[in-house]
Structure formats: structure tokens, C-alpha cells
Amino acid sequence: MCLSDDEKLILLLLASSEAIISNGEEDVDNNNINYRVVGTFPKPEINDAIAVVIDETPYPLSPSPEDNLTYVGSGPIATQGYYYAHVKEGSTNEITSQEPFTRQPTQSDTDYEFYNRSRAYWDIPALPNLYNPLFHRKKSDLHLDGQIATVHFTGNSTELIDIHGNAMNEDAFVMVNMTFIRGQELHTFEDVKMELSGRSSRWNPKLSYSIKIPKEGGTSLYGYRRLKLRSLFSDPSYIREALVYHILRASGLATTDFSYVRVFINQKSAGFFGLIENFKNPWLNNEFANGDPDYQQGNLYQARLVADIFSPGGRISDLSYEGNNASHYKEGQYKIKEDPSDKNRSYEPLIGLIKFLENAPVDNITAWEQHFNMETVLRSMALEVVLGFSDGYSTLADNYYVYQNGLNAGQFIYIPSDVDLSVGSTMSKLSNMLSGDYRTYPGFLRRPLTRQFLRVPEFKERFEEILQQLASHLVNPSVLNPIIDGIADMIRQDVEWDQSLPRLGTTEIDILANQTSSIFDDKLSGIIDDAAIKDAFERPQPLPFDTAVNGPTGHISLTGVKEYIANSSRAILSFYGKQQENE
């Protein structure tokens, strides 16, 4: 192993501090602790060094051998306080810039602190569970509410620039190294596969990524290997996905959890992202079987609206029966996202489900349950309405999964996904979404699944009950506003940082704008509102953060987050003759 001088110095410092701890002497002068800071630093061109300034005395920090975005070094326990700073190279006493605040003394090694963020832990109120979980999810520390992790990718710059420049190439990927840093923890991974993710979002200047940690070597990030980094680009509040995934969890459904991360690529800022789980192995084990490695999984189908969003006319993933010919389901509108445990991937189980729906009985709940876990369906559909999914099943027959509940199982589970266009970020008419009457909700009465379950009195009754329970006890300002306020406080500075950054994507967004209306055939007409789409593309980016959180925004394609929740729950409760609490 070949170490740089800096690295040798760090090892020496680490070794000496361990020695002091182990012989237990109370030598205050040598009782140093480690200071650790993460971040990119302004003016790197003048070769500043990084230091921690403890009680006004600078101590040099060096790049961590594990990660170049991280600086570590040793210093005494502060009496007054400390802060991180740039100092002129070679002259540790000349501070060129510094954090505009002082940190409180700490008695032991610091966390990996983020430069220029005075606070690292936030109390975000927990969302009460409205319903018990339907499945047994494995506990994991992947997402910790109230903390923001840092993710750093390093790899071949040419290849990294290339994937951003060819965003529409769905097969492009880069092999990178990845560091995940949060609190006291720093985890490194090699041979991580990094791809762009999403479909229409590939046109955005800020792109989303999917990440695959190799199975070989048995490593994982808190039990997960497939993750997504969501750009949150369409949402100037940056809150919608965080909120909706929390609500899906509190409704007992199978879903990913969500946390915020700061992302860097080759030591350059990529921005503020949402970290979510990709529904790829070992996710099914984690979500449905408490992580049991012997779990026998079924087929997982992803609904993608159409095979190719730019070649209209194909069949759509609305669960319509298209006859017995399997090739009609294989055009690309449904994708087998995960194979069953016996590797015998097949469209037959999906076709069986769809065929059942086509002729589903109105008087046989048992038969329905044999094919579909109906609580997953009814809760998901109620949430589509209450939370205003605008790119979900009822609107665009899009962004959901149906999962065969175990190897060769007859029963399916409904899983909502990709919830960025929600809570008032919309391509449909707001007045139809916010009437309080789900029958006006765009597409709701047209889709086979909703149409059919509404014919069954028990399901209709339960669905309407869930709608009201959601609007009274969960998707309601008195429950959600304190959480939204907590998240807004936590992310405000990172949103500002994100919006100051240059973007890495280079594709022209108006190509998509020009083509959107042509892809919506008769199965979607009347659901999508051309005026709302036009408004979305013409919206200035970005809207002020507080306006985006609170509303009103003056836009027909985007309400405030709190505004949508207040209006949606009020309209639903008043439709059923009830009052919203606290109003």
C-alpha cells in the first residue's frame, strides 16, 4: 500500500489518539479528538487548505483516504467552540473563508459534519399510522428522518459526461465508486453501476439516477443494493415525494421510504436529491418477508403506460383485457421488473389477473381476494384521489406495479410508484381533482380496475370509508402541516444550494413539450388538460420555495403543497357532509 504524506499523518494521529485512549491517562493536552467535515469548498483554484478552527486556533485537516470530499484531522476538545475554514496553503493561520457560525464543543470525535450547515439533526414529527402495515418490512437505517446524508460518486469523467449528454439512451451506464456519509458513518462501495433513471424526466436538465451495488462481496447499504436518486426537479417545494411516500407507509401499503441526500460527482456538486428504494432485489424480501433470504418471490410487473412515450397508438397499461394473445401484453407497457424465484418469468399470471378483472363478479369477495389483495387496491385508489396523483393509475394508467404475492401465487398486490406528479403538481384540471367527489376525478370511472370494484357494494363502501378516514385523520392540515413545516425548515438551505448549481443534463426540454399531446390517444383524452401541460412547461423555474410549499402559486399546473392538502381534505369531507378539523 502506498500512502501519501497526508495519509501517513492521519494514520499516525489516529494511532496516537487510540494509544491515549487505551492507556487511559488523563492527559488533557494530548486528549485530541477527530474533526471531520464533508463538502466542496469554494475557490479550490487557489489551493486553499482546509482547517478546523478550535477556540480561534486553526488545525489542518487532510483529505480522508476513503473519500476525497471528506477532510479529517485531530485537534483538542474546544472550550468555546470551533468552525471549519479555508486557510492559505502553507500558512495555517491565514483564514480565507469560513463557516459563518461557531459549532458547540464536542467531547468525542465529531460526526462527518457538512460544511456550512449549522444543524445536522431535525425533529420531524412522525406520521401516525392510520392503518397497520399489511406486510412485514424489515427494519433498516437506510432512511433516517431528520438527517441528510451525502453521497459521492467517483469515476471516469468522460464516461460520466457522456451519460448526461445522451440522456435518452436507456442502456447507458457508468461503473463508479460510491461513498455514503451520514452522522458517524462513512461507507464506501466499489463497482457500483450508475444509470440515468426515469422516462420523460430524462429531458430535465437535472437528471435522476439509479444505483446498483454489486451482489458479489455481500455488501449492501443498510440491506439495500438498488436505489434511486430522484432529482425532485419538477417540484419547487422539494417536499411532495417525501410526503407522499411517508403517507403511503402510514397507510400500511408496500412502498419505498424516502430520505434526502446531497449528491456529488467527482467532487463536484450535483445537487439535492431524494433517496428511494428501487423495487429490485433484495427489495421484495425486505418489504414482504422481513428480509428472509429464503423467501420465494413471484413476478413483479411494472406498468409504464405505453412501450414508447413517443410512438403513440400502442396498448396502454390500464389493466384492460386485450384477448388471450400474450404478445399484446408484451409490447412494453408492462415490464417484468423482477423474475420469480424459479426464474420462470411469465406474463401468464398477469394476463390471468386482467382476465379476471374483465369478468369480475359483483357478489363474490372471495374470488376477488384470490386475485387481488383488495386493501392494497382500495387504499391505493383512495390515496390517488386524496393526494391528487396526476400520473397514476386512474389518470394515465401509469406508475404502479402489480406483484404476484409469492412464487406461483394467485393473488396480486398493488404498489403505487413514482409519485412526483401529485399534491397539486398536475397535468389534469384541478377543479376535477378537487371536487370532493371521486367520480369527477380524471380517469377514475374509466379504468377497468376502478370501474369493476365500484360495482361491488362492499368494495365501494370500504373505498368511500377509506377516503373519509384519510381526509379526516391523515391527509389533513392538522396532521400534515407540522410535518411539512419541519421538512421545509430542514431542507431550506439545501434547496437554495441546489437551485444555485449548474445542471448536468443537456437535452432540450421543449422537444417533450411539442410531443406530449400527440401521445395521448382516445384512452387518455379528457384526462390530460392541454392548458395545464402548457402552464407546466412555461412555469418559471424555480418558483420561490415558500410559495411552492404554501401556495397560492397562480399556476393551474401547480398548487402549494399545503394548499392542496387543505383543499382536498376539505372538499372530500364536505362532500360526505363532514367538517374539516381546525377550521
Ligand X SMILES: *[C@@H]1O[C@H](CO)[C@@H](O)[C@H](O)[C@H]1NC(C)=O
Q: Which three cell numbers stand for residue 288?
A: 414482504
d(CA 220, CA 278): 13
CB closer to ligand X out of 93 and 514: 514
Scanning 175-183, 218-226, 468-476, 534-542 for contacts with ligand X by CB under 6 A, the matching segment is: 175-183
Nearer to ligand X, 290 or 344 (CB): 344
Smallest gap, in angstroms, from Cβ of residue 327 to ligand X? 4
Kindly list the distances between the CA atom of residue 163 and the CA atoms of 30, 146, 204, 232, 268, in Å, as whole numbers in the listed order: 49, 32, 14, 19, 16
Task: Name which of 66 and 521 has its Cβ closer to ligand X.
Answer: 66
Interaction of residue 493 with ligand X, rule CB under 6 A: yes
Look at strands 258-265 and 268-277 and give their pairing: antiparallel
Site for ligand X in 42-101 (CB under 6 A): 42, 66-68, 97
| Contact call for residue 364 and ligand X (CB under 6 A) | yes
Residues of this chain, 109-128, that bind ligand X according to CB under 6 A: 116
Report, in Å, the least distance between residue 134 CB and ligand X.
Answer: 21
Considering the complex, what minimum distance in angstroms separates the CB of residue 556 from ligand X?
8
Which CB, 25 or 581, lies closer to ligand X?
Answer: 581
- Quote the CA–CA distance of 146 and 487 in Å, as a whole number: 8
Looking from the CA of 257 toward its CB, the CA atoms found within 13 Å total 16
Nearer Cβ to ligand X (67/257): 67
**Residues whose CB falls within 8 Å of the CB of residue 327, separated by 6 or more in sequence, listed in order:** none
What gap in Å lies between CA 108 and CA 31, rounded to an integer?
10
Pairing mode of beta strands 268-277, 300-304: unpaired
Neighbouring CB atoms inside 10 A of 509's CB total 12
Stretch that binds ligand X, among 360-368, 445-453, 475-483, 536-544 (CB under 6 A): 360-368
Segment interacting with ligand X (CB under 6 A) among 77-85, 169-177, 388-396, 469-477: 169-177
446 vs 230, 363, 407, 450, 525, CA distance in Å?
30, 21, 31, 8, 11
By beta-carbon proximity to ligand X, the closer residue of 140 and 269 is 269
- Closer residue to ligand X, CB minimum distance, 370 or 574: 370
Which phi and psi angles does 230 have, rounded to 5°?
A: -95, 135
At 186, is the secondary structure helix, strand, or coil?
strand
SS3 103: strand
Ramachandran angles phi, psi of 409, nearest 5°: -70, 155
Q: Which of 346, 435, 478, 499 binds ligand X (CB under 6 A)?
A: 346
Residue 525 binds ligand X (CB under 6 A): no
Q: In this complex, which beta carbon is closest to ligand X, that of residue 210 or of residue 251?
A: 210
Minimum distance from residue 377 beta carbon to ligand X (Å):
17
Binding site for ligand X (CB under 6 A): 42, 66-68, 97, 116, 154-156, 158-159, 175-177, 190, 325, 327, 344, 346, 348-349, 364, 366-367, 370, 430, 434, 493, 496, 508, 510-511, 514, 552, 559, 563, 567
